Amino acid sequence: MATTSTRFSYEGLFSERSEDTPINKVDHAEYDFAVAYPAPETSPMDGLISALQTAMDSRGDEIARHMAYYPQPAGSPELREFVAWKLEYDRGFSVDVDDILLTNGSGESIGLAIQALTNPGDTAITEHFVYSGTLGQLQKFGNTVYGSETDELGLVPDALDELIGKLDGKGKKPKMIYTIAEHQNPMGPTLPEGRRREILEIAHKHGVPILEDECYVDLRFEGEVQPAFRTMDDSGIVIHVASFSKLLAPGLRLGYITAAPEVLRRAASCKIGSGPNQFAAYAIEGFLRTSLDEHRARFNPLLKQKRDAMDESLNDNFSDIGAKWSHPEGGCYTWLTMPEGTDITAPRDEIFAEGVGYNGGVGFAPNGDGQNCARLCFAFETPEKCYDGIGALAKAFKKRGLM
């Protein structure tokens, strides 16, 4: 059979929406502080597999039948019931099972909320530095994003009020305030309850919904969890998303969104494809029904050891040069701020090739600043490697005259 080998030309065929983006393979540096998840050994693989086995043993026929169908668009009813239970148990608010949509990770939930609310040319507000995935999605869907002022506690309510007022005055009232109030990514703080109440008032005053992202809520090893925005407000102004990626494993690809029914219906209308992975849903529901607290009690002290080791090494290597870093009570990240005028974002790839991975601040910056900042994920490496890797980072910075 003849084969046509002349390259086909796509000249003039690509959509305006698509971009020429390299499809990178994932590399790990020797000291990998650039990732966004805990270590593989903390994923409860045995527990997930035995939960699946238990489910098969007790209702194998039913599971086999459901696996042979495409999942329901909203996702597994059993896992949605568990999510409703968990939200009540952990966060103290109740939602109807039908007001929960399971998605392919919480990234999809965030994307659906963005699509439900925004048109190209709209504006949105986030924390001053924000999870690059959400920043990217907001921008991809055509929003101009403004990072609102934060301090060591998180969003500053007065500054947020002023920013919304200013934007509104220019006819650019934001469509949403996106916030990661528990263990913020990348900066780390948990927003105190008082500020959350003030922000809710501000949101109501201006008529701007809050998209609350609790991706890291389960990863607390110190301090007190604060009530969710959604716990304090059931008017419908709060859209709530969360994930099983950081608690269990990102490879499961399961997260969820709960919102006022009219918002959820719009979000669902933007979804392309079927509901998320049914097999993963059986494993998650079965495992967490019996082991949620036990798993967190095993997992979070390990995270604390890693945070402590990174903190100690930052103290030993960075304390006399005017650098600052955050002291998160959970989550995965420490936020390093070098003295003003230092650019640690530019040499990031070079330093990665030399063995230390981190994310430069600019990637988290709606306002385009952050050259002197870096997100350091402490969750992936061992405590020993967290300590040694920060030493190696200091050496790499010194070699380049950055400290």
Ligand X SMILES: Cc1ncc(COP(=O)(O)O)c(C=O)c1O
Q: φ and ψ at 197, to 5 degrees? A: -65, -45
For the bound state, the minimum distance from the C-beta of residue 243 to ligand X, rounded and expressed in Å, comes to 3
Which residue lies nearest ligand X, judged by its C-beta? Answer: 105
Q: How far is the CB of 16 from ligand X (least distance, A)?
A: 26
In terms of CB distance, is 122 or 212 closer to ligand X? 212
β-bridge partners, 255: 103, 243
Note the Cα 98 to chain centre separation in Å: 24
| Residue carrying structure tokens 């990240």 | 333
Q: Which of 199, 188, 186 is nearest to 125 (CA)?
A: 199
Residues 6 or more apart whose Cβ sits within 8 Å of residue 136: none
User: Between residues 114 and 403, which has the closer beta carbon with respect to ligand X?
Assistant: 114
* Measured distance CA(352)–CA(30) in Å, rounded: 8
User: What number of CA atoms fall less than 13 Å from residue 379's CA on the CB side?
Assistant: 32
Cβ at position 141, least distance to ligand X in Å: 16
Can you name the residues that pair with 31 across neighbouring β-strands?
Answer: 356
Query: Which residues contact ligand X by CB under 6 A?
Result: 36, 105-107, 131, 133, 180, 185, 213, 215, 243, 245, 250, 255
**What phi and psi, each to the nearest 5 degrees, are found at residue 326?**
-85, 160
User: What does the DSSP 8-state code read for residue 380?
Assistant: S
Pick 258 or 342: Cβ nearer ligand X: 258
Residue closer to ligand X by CB (options 295, 375) is: 375
SS3 content of the chain, % helix, strand, coil (to 5): 45, 15, 40
Residue 191 has a CB neighbour count (10 Å cut-off) of: 21
In the complex with ligand X, which residue's Cβ is closer, 106 or 226?
106
Cβ closer to ligand X: 131 or 146?
131
